[in-house]
Amino acid sequence: MLKKIRRALSIGLLLFSSGLLIWASLPSKRQVAIQTISPSEMQLPSTTQAVIPAILETRQVVLDWPSSMRIGDMGVITLVFEPIPNNPPSNNPQGEFSDVYDNNNIMAEARFEVAGISVNPANPTRESMPSGHSVKFEWQVNLEQAGSYHGNVWLSLRFLPLDGTTASQEPIFVREVDIHAASLFGISAPMARLLGGVGIILSVLIIFDDMISWARKWKRRMDLTTDKRR
């Protein structure tokens, strides 16, 4: 009777612990948004020039973020601002735009605004953006409480005149980001992995004597089978 109770306890603990590990190990759902940015959206702001300086290449923003996470896990949000691959040169009707790089250095500035989430690195972050090159931003996010979180990712261009005059900035992209954080009975993912691992070890220890006995019986049967074949 005691053996049956011990085996039932071991099986129940094994199933429960395996469920914890499976839940804590499933990949998070992710979402991707892609938006094309034309030269007319990347022009120098507040200019009085007849031909407006602008970035003459069509680019795209690729935003990738976890739409769902487990509390305690680390999630990654990435934003890539890049020239569109294999895209022909942008149309510039009647010379409407000039190359802004002739008189400016360009920096891309991104920030992730959300309440209740630990974000690393701190906002905003800036990257130099030479002509024809892509820039990438990455944020690590950690959620400590279950629930839904709503934030925004911003991307701006910062124009730095080569003559040392005042810099200017122009927002070119904003996207709302929703992240749902889940727990299992209030347990975080790291704790679920710990409890699951410990539970599996305990389930094995509970029936360890039985496993030794089964192993010995199996060995005896194999020995008898070998002797009969001889």
Average pLDDT over residues 183-206: 87
Domain boundaries, the chain: 2-20+188-225, 29-182
Q: What is the pLDDT of residues 118-157, one digit of tens each?
A: 888 887 899 999 988 999 999 999 888 899 999 999 999 9
Which residues, in sequence order, are CB contacts of 178 under 8 Å at separation 6+? Answer: 67, 148, 149, 150, 151
DSSP for 32-93, please give it: EEEEEE-GGGSBPSS---SSEEE--S-EEEEEEEESEEETT-EEEEEEEEEEPTTPPPPP-G
Q: What is the pLDDT of residues 47-80, one digit of tens each?
A: 666 788 899 889 999 999 999 999 999 999 999 9
pLDDT given at position 123 = 77
- Is residue 227 over pLDDT 60? no
Contact between residue 134 and residue 81 where contact means Cβ atoms under 8 Å apart: yes
- The least confident of 20-34, 111-125, 177-191, 204-218 is 204-218
Contact between residue 83 and residue 149 where contact means Cβ atoms under 8 Å apart: no
Q: What is the pLDDT of residues 211-225, one digit of tens each?
A: 666 656 666 666 566
Tokens of 172: 């070119």
pLDDT given at position 140 = 93
Average pLDDT over residues 83-92: 69
Pick the CATH number of 29-182 from 3.40.190.80, 1.25.40.10, 2.60.40.10, 3.40.50.2000: 2.60.40.10
- Is residue 197 over pLDDT 60? yes
- Residue 170's region, left for phi above 0, alpha for psi from -120 to 50, else beta, is beta
DSSP state, 26? Answer: S
- This prediction's pTM: 0.80
